[in-house]
Amino acid sequence: MSAAIRVIVVDDEPLARRHLHALLSAEPDVAVIAECATGTEAVAAIRSQRPDLVFLDIQMPELDGVGVADAIGAAQMPLTVFVTAHDDRALDAFRVHALDYLLKPVDRTRFALALARAKDTLRGRVARDPARLEAMLAALRPRRDGVEPIPAGERLAVRIDGRTLLVRVREIDWISADDNNVILHAAGRALRIRETLSSVAERLPKDFVRVHRSAMVNSSRVAEVRPAPHGEYVIVLSDGVEVQTGRRFRDAVHGLVRQAR
């Protein structure tokens, strides 16, 4: 290819976007044509800008990297280098289907290798195979497409301030939502992460019950269920914390009580 390779960078973390942009800007035959902070922005930019190459973060709130690729379609998706925090399931999928990825924080040497491979593909030296991308997406789709949630005795990987923490699922007492953030209340800590309550719920075992549009509780931590006005309830956890329920979640609360009998 004689023209510059047109690249879009997609990541919800500003520092991560700037780091990738700086690495790409050092390449004389590469032009960064857009940066996107959300999956929705990425879908719009890919459709309108038609880039040659996308660096796509897998884990984003609302619409993640898999959702972006699904929205565009494997056959129409530009050549993609996925970017991920440490996630064994994601890394296994990339390796099995021989697709390139970068592990955060992105290493300069590893970035150079990924970009070199991308250039070889774009120049026709390596064949593209959309079927491999579709197979990988199938492996990464959430529970609604057949992927089992994390067992209760295992750990949940969450990204906080550029780090990946592994939180024991059984230590999570309850989870609250605050706009596009989720707070895990676990072992006396309040861990704020950039995800939605629905996306976190997809990764948790059935022990976690949604009792409000902005709250889930670990059923093993429920000590008391008290009636409240207007058909609602107050759930008291074993540490004394009280969680207000919502009217539309009454069946879920009744299920908690039946489960304990």
Domains of the chain, earliest start first: 5-141 (3.40.50.2300), 155-260 (2.40.50.1020)
pLDDT digits (tens, 9 = 90+) for 218-253: 999 999 999 988 888 999 999 999 999 988 888 888
Residue 85 has pLDDT above 80, yes or no: no
Whether pLDDT at 51 is above 80: yes
Looking at residue 185, its amino acid is H
**pLDDT of the residue at 1:** 47
Q: How confident is the model at residue 195 (pLDDT cuts 50, 70, 90)?
A: confident
pTM of the model: 0.56
Q: What is the pLDDT of residue 52?
A: 95
Distance CA 33, CA 148 (A): 38
pLDDT of residue 111: 95
Say if residue 2's pLDDT is above 70.
no
Q: Is the pLDDT of residue 150 over 60?
A: no
Asked whether residue 212 carries a pLDDT value surpassing 60, the answer given is yes
More confident residue, 59 or 177: 177
Torsion of CA 17, 23, 26, 30, to 10 degrees: -70
Read off the pLDDT band of 124 (50, 70, 90): confident
How much is the average pLDDT of 94-107? Answer: 77
**Mean of all residue pLDDT scores within the chain:** 84
pLDDT band at 164 (very low <50, low <70, confident <90, very high): confident
